[in-house]
Amino acid sequence: MKKLLVFFGVLSLLLTSVSCKKKSQAQTNGQPVEKEAVVYFCKEITPENILKLYEAMGVKQEGKIGLKVHFGEEGNQNFLNPELLRPLVEKVHPTFVETNVLYVSKRRFTDSHIALAKEHGFTFAPIDILDSEDDADGLCYDATGLKHFTKIKTGSHFANYDAYIVYSHFKGHGSAGFGGAIKNVSMGFASPGGKMAMHSSNIPAVKKGSSCVHCQRCVQQCPANAITLTDFGPVIDSSKCLGCAKCIAECGLGIFGQGDRAQGEDFLERLVEYAKVFCEKKPMVFINVMDKISKSCDCSAMAPAPFMDPIGAVASTDIVAVDYVCHLLTAMKQKTEDAFLDVNGVSGLAQIKYAEKLGMGTTKFVLIDVTTGQRISLEDALK
């Protein structure tokens, strides 16, 4: 009986991996995806299970593989422990890849960025900052049929890889609601010029009647010198602002918030359009980890503490499904409709819906427990 169960578990994995390969082809033609995506899940977030998730997808990645990670801002305490990646790195021999950021930080310049990555424990694979040799724009791809862009800008090293593993920490983000695979691909692969292009419509609002204590933190952290403090609180110079949302994350009194709602959704559409082009240029698979889930992202020097317990990790060849499952699981865990709308005032679900509309993937999925090979429900995943 036990042998039979193992046989059906293995058969189920084989069938779902065939389905993944079909799905992966469907993603590249820009048409809406009708098949269900397969999303693999593990509850225990361990190095061995991260490798199992990768292998379960059944995708043979060959040649030069980039492992897209986030090294964590200096002072950030929530970024994922790199040791989770060690077995995957030993098996696949990828290069850790990242791009430089827009704002004032060690991650702005290649040398200090790499030094910080090593300080944070990313020592067991080569590191490549994809835009390390570029001007602000870097490598430009022509884009057609998009609402916001005709050009997509990335680091020139992006073209040097045959395939990518996109490894994302699923957590909150001040402007995007949450950051998962879509945001890791879009903002994570964009050159500084690309990052600016996505942020350009995203100027924060200053809450009226705010109780600013003139601590100067927002002024010091603003990469564009766009904030002036007056007796009535901060004022943003919109002609300078990059829309990076650092001030939203940095002010402990919550004095900065999203600009008007339309601008917020505009930003999410921009993220998705960048991700779409990158996904079309290179084969990618996606692993999301739901651990240390704070309202803010790993770019924050002092991110707020996690507000929910770890849930597990998921993997899929479908970028929409992998983020959607995380969105659902985090909402169910918090017994609400959208855990990040509650804490950030923005629903990241708009990223998912727009990505599905653009044919990048599907919100229809089956969930497979990678440790048993059995199909499970979202409720099972949270038990």
How many angstroms separate the CA atoms of 210 and 256, rounded? 9
How many angstroms separate the CA atoms of 136 and 23, rounded? 35
In the complex, minimum distance from the CB of residue 254 to ligand SF4, in angstroms, rounded to a whole number:
8
In the complex, minimum distance from the CB of residue 131 to ligand SF4, in angstroms, rounded to a whole number:
19
222 binds ligand SF4 (CB under 6 A): yes
**Quick check: 54 and 340 in contact, CB under 8 A?**
no
Indicate the SS3 state at residue 134: coil
Between β-strands 95-98 and 65-68, what pairing exists: parallel, antiparallel or unpaired? parallel
204 binds ligand SF4 (CB under 6 A): yes
**Quick check: 225 and 169 in contact, CB under 8 A?**
no
229 binds ligand SF4 (CB under 6 A): yes
Which secondary-structure segment (H or E) carries 59?
none
**What's the first-to-final CA gap in the chain, in angstroms?**
26
325 binds ligand SF4 (CB under 6 A): no
Q: Which stretch binds ligand SF4 (CB under 6 A): 80-88, 247-255, 293-301, 366-374?
A: 247-255
Q: Which is nearer to ligand SF4, 43 or 199 (CB)?
A: 199
Q: Judged by CB under 6 A, how many residues of this single chain contact ligand SF4?
A: 27
How many angstroms separate the CA atoms of 78 and 227, rounded? 27
217 binds ligand SF4 (CB under 6 A): yes
234 binds ligand SF4 (CB under 6 A): yes
- How remote is the C-alpha of 295 from its chain's centroid? 14
In the complex, minimum distance from the CB of residue 327 to ligand SF4, in angstroms, rounded to a whole number:
25
Q: What number of CA atoms fall less than 13 Å from residue 349's CA on the CB side?
A: 14
* Nearest C-alpha neighbor of 287 from the set 31, 57, 29: 57
214 binds ligand SF4 (CB under 6 A): yes
In the complex, minimum distance from the CB of residue 169 to ligand SF4, in angstroms, rounded to a whole number:
21
Return the axis-axis angle of helices 192-199 and 181-189, rounded to nearest 10°: 120
Quote the tokens at residue 343.
């804490």
281 binds ligand SF4 (CB under 6 A): no
303 binds ligand SF4 (CB under 6 A): no
Return the axis-axis angle of helices 349-357 and 319-333, rounded to nearest 10°: 150
220 binds ligand SF4 (CB under 6 A): no
301 binds ligand SF4 (CB under 6 A): no
Residues sharing a CB contact under 8 Å with residue 184, sequence separation 6 or more, in sequence order: 68, 70, 166, 167, 168
In the complex, minimum distance from the CB of residue 212 to ligand SF4, in angstroms, rounded to a whole number:
3
Q: Which is nearer to ligand SF4, 241 or 331 (CB)?
A: 241
213 binds ligand SF4 (CB under 6 A): yes
In the complex, minimum distance from the CB of residue 214 to ligand SF4, in angstroms, rounded to a whole number:
5
84 binds ligand SF4 (CB under 6 A): no
Q: What is the dihedral of CA 261, 267, 268, 273, to 10 degrees?
A: 150
Q: Which of 42, 129, 139, 241 binds ligand SF4 (CB under 6 A)?
A: 241
How many angstroms separate the CA atoms of 178 and 238, rounded? 24
In the complex, minimum distance from the CB of residue 250 to ligand SF4, in angstroms, rounded to a whole number:
6
Q: Which of 244, 277, 287, 297 binds ligand SF4 (CB under 6 A)?
A: 244
346 binds ligand SF4 (CB under 6 A): no
205 binds ligand SF4 (CB under 6 A): no
Residues in the site for ligand SF4, rule: CB under 6 A?
204, 212-218, 222-224, 226-227, 229, 234, 236, 241-247, 250-251, 253, 255
